[in-house]
Structure 1
Amino acid sequence: MSQPPPPPPNQPPQGGGFGAPQDPPPGGFGPPTPPAGPPAGPPQQPQPGYGYPQAPPQAPQTPPPAAPAGPPQQPYGYPQGPGAPQGAPQQPPAQPGYGYPGQQPAQPGYGYPGQQPPYGYPQPSTMPMQPQAPQGRRKLNAQAAIIVAAVVAIALIVGGGVMYAKSSDKGDDKDTSAGSGGTEGKNDNEGGEDVGGGGGTEKVPSSTSAKVLFQVPAAEVPKKDVWSVAGSWLTDKVYAKSGVSEVVGYDPDSGKESWTLPLSGLTCAGSPEITKDGVAVVVAEDAKRTKANPYPDCTEVTAFDLDTGKELWTKSVAPGGGEKTAFKEVSITGTTVAAGSGLNGGAAFDISNGKILWQPKVGSCEDVGYAGGEQLVAVRKCGDYGNEKYEVQQLDPKSGTVKWSYKLPDGIDNAKVISTKPVVFGVDSGEITASGATDVFSLDDSGKLRAKITLEDGKYEHDCGVNAVHNCKAIAVGNDKLYVPTKQHEGAKQYSRVNEIVSFSLATGKPTSDRADAGEGYEIFPIRMDGSNVIAYKNGPYDKGSQVVSIDGKSFKETKLLETPATDQVRSAISGMVPKSSEMRYTGGRLFMAEDLISAPYSADEKDYAAIGFGAK
């Protein structure tokens, strides 16, 4: 049996304070190990896809009939019946580049008579958590249920380094959204050059060469423990980051502490959104961790003002006067805060006063979780354990009334919402995959299927978390397209690796001609949309800094907004954050990366950080 992975490297310092840390330890991150060689041959053509009818077909009693003669039928996933566009293209664009799927074979997939549904996610009994307790027994402790997955995730993080803090001139930025993935950020900068064709609000700084603004030291964590510090937000006045049983607000340029908001315990989730009034929401454990109670439940929902750190309210829900519901995700739509538990139903609160709008109900159906932003979308589960059926629904955010519902077939046990307007969600088509979403579906305003997009596993590098409704990263939706990064492949130079951002039409499911190349030695992926432009991060090679770029939504021309220092210390610290998995916030010439999980460092000599900030003038 192989040895378990060493504990992750990028955490607590020996002492607090901000500004320049002590000199880095010897060693650090050197050039990356050259790859073993180029990929084995060209990308493989995907197998025929399957679709998601509104009602799963009945299994046939006899072998399926042969395909009928005549023109091939469209695979499920194309609009059908009235309203379907006429003359929909049957072929992808000629000579698609790397990362585009091959032409789909023209034969029926799942959803046609005579076809068995594909194998879905493994049943919960194969996952590193316990199934929901049957009626009459105590509900599962949600925090304890995810700790194994957290340990696995943190163990995969590559060790961070140490960096020197510097300051830069204060920029003028206003941010009303702190999301990643498909969440849009809005910015009211004044001055500076417009980016691209004017589709976004981000401006090109006078100098794109960024300086280290400050680092947030990671707290001390007991050995073998993994603690959650989920939640970070960026506005023109503050950078706020969850710590151990608190949220701390910092001046976004100097790192000086502006305020501290005490919490009942560790944070379990933070809202990706910020309201127009600068309010964010965090979910925390109901008590401090002790040996007697190592995993308190994540029951406390707190709304707070980002400018001042003032707590507006803290609420919990206990349906029927029983145990409090433990939440694992939280999101904001308008004046509604929606919190999902993943196991025991969802609840919603009025953000102005904490009034409970709805809470988990006793019955055969429950909300798994919510995704907010411009619209409120729920993933709902009905049925007994082992026979669950899932639906994606749009809700009225004030009442929770269902506006429409889209049913998923048997064998699919979750949906990951990538965008709420338009509604775009992904699922795994078979076994659990590296990306977490190999099939992506776009719906129209009435909840009808527009198109299915197949993202072959191993060919794309987005990341949708397991058992999470709104935790897709390195993927974005805008301009009626889905933007996704390809997997790195051999570049033009020896040992060089490159990748691209490509897009797919949400109307047809077909790949478009969009292609943003990372450049030799870089890896590119989307952070969020900025109007019609794509804000993307380019992870630099071992001898160069990393970049934030804006990609024009029409021409796909890249414009550099920020470039980090290329020193060993900075590159090592960025590597320790694992950019694709970090809480990444960019606006107004400032880039912040933060961790949502921390653990003890390898040695007491290491200086570990929970967040890093960069600023361009």
Structure 2
Amino acid sequence: MSFGPPPSIYTQSARAADTARKRRRTKLLAALAVVVAFALGGGGWFLASGDDSEPTGARRTVAQSPDDIRETTERVPASPEGRLMVEHDEENLPKANDAKPRYAPGTWATDKVMVKGVANRLEGYNIALDATEKAWSLKLDGHICATSRHVTADGRTAVVIQPPRPKGSEKDGVCDQVVFFDLDTGKKLWQKKMPAAGTAFVTNTNLTLTKGVVAVAWGSGSVAYDMRSGKQLWNSTLGSECEDKAFAGGRALLSLLSCGSPPDVTFRVQRLDPRTGEPQWTYKVSDGVQAVYVPSSDPPVLAVAAGDSAVTDLISLDSQGKHRATIALNGYEAQCGERYFGLSLFGEYENCDGLVVGRTQAFVSSKENIATGQPSNWIVAFDLGTGKTAGKFDGRELQRVHPLRMSGDDLLIYRRGAGTVAPAAVVRWNPRADKETPLLFFTLPEDEDGKLSDPEQSDILFQQGRIFFGRRELVADDKYPTYGVLMALAVGSAGLKH
């Protein structure tokens, strides 16, 4: 599979892109000023959204070691005013159409940098207002094949890459190198070649992280490495009736196994000991299921497509892999496997953009509602023990809402803006008290809003008072092919309450 050519050196066309970027930045800053005046000076709108008190459960924090997977609890800022922190354009895109974009998989953030994967490199952008834009750049030994949303508590993560090989050779397109790196510094900590990975490609390679372990699966094999040393801990190869299709990481390590041959494929999910790969329990998914995604390892939750390609149900399991509840998703959109126009690229089995799983509840987006005078969509909380609804968060007319992640026991939600009518926002929702607390108000460039706000097209992260948007596919503008294309944008709050 072609990823498009790597970027070339800085040229005169990039200077034209700088002019366009400055123009867009001026418009964005002016819009942010309007948002602040509207949200803070508008009298009741901001106050009606919530206050700066800490809802019960919002400060639920977990003491973490450096190798733990990061779980951040957000604080209420001193001001919800949004300020532009990062704006980065990708330059020198080939004159091509949507059928051949430059892929930019992977977006991460720490308190210091926003990091973006693009083509065959990783780039870190400073998020301090008085700093130069680029913090670091790490050229990889090939294009990125798989990424993980998981980051360690001390800011490390991994990618799988595809080393270049002669066209038509036996290993052309094989993704068999793992790179573990530091997000703050861009330092490569180690790089390892995956064993017997001749059938690992961008379409079937899945990467995850759990405490102290980096794990990769590609259908006909899998491997796990120690984070600190890069030492191989265990691996499996083709030979049984079931294949390691993917792993789900975070607090635990689950393996998704595909058994049998089409059309009679069945699925199993196993909890593994991360250090040995030994199964601790196995759950057999019912026959007839077409696809299985694993959005959460602990608590274990499966998103299954029963008789269709779209997710139809959630299945929650207990700590021993026993069935707890089945949640029918009629009228809801978990948005699993819907990135890249439904193509299976860069690892997809942990990624459900319309679904967030907490300790006791799952939060799922509804389908879009086009009725006038009603919310564009809403998010419903389901109890993982009973499967029953446990709360509802409404969007607004023309303002869809998307679940981002948990912050302690509360849910972080992105609410889209509505042009000059209302700003975009990140809010924290306490489903137990049904209380909404605003964290950030901002606006996005009008011509980029649709793409940045769509979780199928862009990564949307919230970390330590800042929201980050990272485009996944980049295509030159037909009218202005020499201009850069906005790839990364971040907005931060004016201040955090300490």
* TM-score, with structure 1 as normaliser: 0.65
Instruction: Please state if 1:609 is matched with 2:486.
Output: yes
Q: Which residue of 1 aligns with 2:287?
A: 410
Q: CA deviation at 1:336?
A: 0.7
For the structure 1 residues 261 and 406, does the alpha-carbon distance in structure 2 shift closer, same or farther, using more than 3 Å as the test? same
Q: CA deviation at 1:559?
A: 1.0
Equivalent position to 2:225, from 349, 366, 373? 349
C-alpha distance in 2, partners of 1:289/1:265? 13
Residue pair 2:313, 2:327 contacting (<8 A) in 1 also: yes
Q: CA deviation at 1:585?
A: 1.2
Q: Which residue of 2 aligns with 1:262?
A: 139
Instruction: Please state if 1:197 is matched with 2:56.
Output: yes
Q: CA deviation at 1:519?
A: 2.5
Aligned partner of 2:14: which letter?
G
For the structure 1 residues 523 and 291, does the alpha-carbon distance in structure 2 shift closer, same or farther, using more than 3 Å as the test? farther
Equivalent position to 1:399, from 266, 276, 281? 276
Q: CA deviation at 1:427?
A: 0.8
1:3-402 mapped onto 2 (5 Å cutoff): 14-15=13-14, 21-23=21-23, 164=28, 193-200=52-59, 201-222=73-94, 223-224=96-97, 225-254=100-129, 256-287=133-164, 296-319=173-196, 323=198, 325-326=200-201, 328-341=205-218, 343-364=219-240, 365-402=242-279
Aligned partner of 1:498: which letter?
S
Residue pair 1:475, 1:485 contacting (<8 A) in 2 also: yes
Aligned partner of 2:89: which letter?
P
Could you give the per-residue CA deviations for residues 481-506 of structure 1, whole angstroms, max 9, x where no partner exists?
Answer: 1111212325563xx65222111111
Instruction: Please state if 1:577 is matched with 2:427.
Output: no
Q: Which residue of 1 aligns with 2:65?
A: none
Q: Which stretch shows the higher mean deviation, 309-318 or 394-403?
A: 309-318
* TM-score, with structure 2 as normaliser: 0.79
1:556-575 mapped onto 2 (5 Å cutoff): 556-565=434-443, 570-575=445-450
Q: Which residue of 1 aligns with 2:332?
A: 460
Could you give the per-residue CA deviations for residues 134-176 of structure 1, whole angstroms, max 9, x where no partner exists?
Answer: xxxxxxxxxxxxxxxxxxxxxxxxxxx996579x9xxxxxxxx
Instruction: Please state if 1:588 is matched with 2:464.
Output: yes
Q: Which residue of 2 aligns with 1:445?
A: 319
Residue pair 1:162, 1:607 contacting (<8 A) in 2 also: no
Residue pair 2:290, 2:305 contacting (<8 A) in 1 also: no
Q: Which residue of 2 aligns with 1:472?
A: 352
Q: Which residue of 2 aligns with 1:102?
A: none
Aligned partner of 1:196: which letter?
P
Greater relative contact order (Cα < 8 A, sep 6+): 1
Q: CA deviation at 1:348?
A: 1.3
For the structure 1 residues 519 and 324, does the alpha-carbon distance in structure 2 shift closer, same or farther, using more than 3 Å as the test? closer
Residue pair 2:288, 2:306 contacting (<8 A) in 1 also: no
Residue pair 1:162, 1:608 contacting (<8 A) in 2 also: no
Q: CA deviation at 1:276?
A: 2.1
Q: CA deviation at 1:381?
A: 1.7
Instruction: Please state if 1:555 is matched with 2:433.
Output: yes
Residue pair 2:102, 2:118 contacting (<8 A) in 1 also: no
For the structure 1 residues 451 and 369, does the alpha-carbon distance in structure 2 shift closer, same or farther, using more than 3 Å as the test? same
Any unmatched runs of 5+ in structure 2? 1-9, 33-50, 60-72
C-alpha distance in 2, partners of 1:292/1:487? 45
C-alpha distance in 2, partners of 1:229/1:332? 20
Report the structure, 1 or 2, having the larger strand content.
Answer: 2
Q: Counterpart of 2:332 in 1: which secondary structure? A: coil
C-alpha distance in 2, partners of 1:276/1:442? 27
Could you give the per-residue CA deviations for residues 222-244 of structure 1, whole angstroms, max 9, x where no partner exists?
Answer: 31412322111111121111123
Q: Which residue of 2 aligns with 1:79?
A: none
Q: Counterpart of 1:575 in 2: which secondary structure? A: helix
Residue pair 1:505, 1:511 contacting (<8 A) in 2 also: yes
Aligned partner of 2:365: which letter?
P
Aligned partner of 1:15: which letter?
A
Following TM superposition, where does structure 1 have runs of at least 4 consecutive aligned residues deviating by more than 4 angstroms? 16-20, 161-166, 288-295
C-alpha distance in 2, partners of 1:424/1:451? 10
Cα root mean square deviation, aligned: 3.0
For the structure 1 residues 226 and 403, does the alpha-carbon distance in structure 2 shift closer, same or farther, using more than 3 Å as the test? same
For the structure 1 residues 253 and 20, does the alpha-carbon distance in structure 2 shift closer, same or farther, using more than 3 Å as the test? farther
For the structure 1 residues 211 and 379, does the alpha-carbon distance in structure 2 shift closer, same or farther, using more than 3 Å as the test? same
Q: Counterpart of 1:284 in 2: which secondary structure? A: strand
Q: Which residue of 1 aligns with 2:473?
A: 597
Q: CA deviation at 1:415?
A: 1.2
Any unmatched runs of 5+ in structure 1? 1-11, 25-160, 169-191
Q: CA deviation at 1:318?
A: 3.2
For the structure 1 residues 531 and 470, does the alpha-carbon distance in structure 2 shift closer, same or farther, using more than 3 Å as the test? same
Q: Which residue of 2 aligns with 1:531?
A: 408
Aligned partner of 2:446: which letter?
R
Residue pair 2:291, 2:306 contacting (<8 A) in 1 also: no
Give % identity.
30
C-alpha distance in 2, partners of 1:399/1:18? 51
Aligned partner of 1:347: which letter?
V
Aligned partner of 2:326: which letter?
K
Q: CA deviation at 1:315?
A: 1.3
Q: CA deviation at 1:258?
A: 1.4
Residue pair 1:333, 1:372 contacting (<8 A) in 2 also: yes
Residue pair 1:264, 1:288 contacting (<8 A) in 2 also: no
Aligned residue pairs: how many? Answer: 432
Residue pair 2:411, 2:429 contacting (<8 A) in 1 also: yes
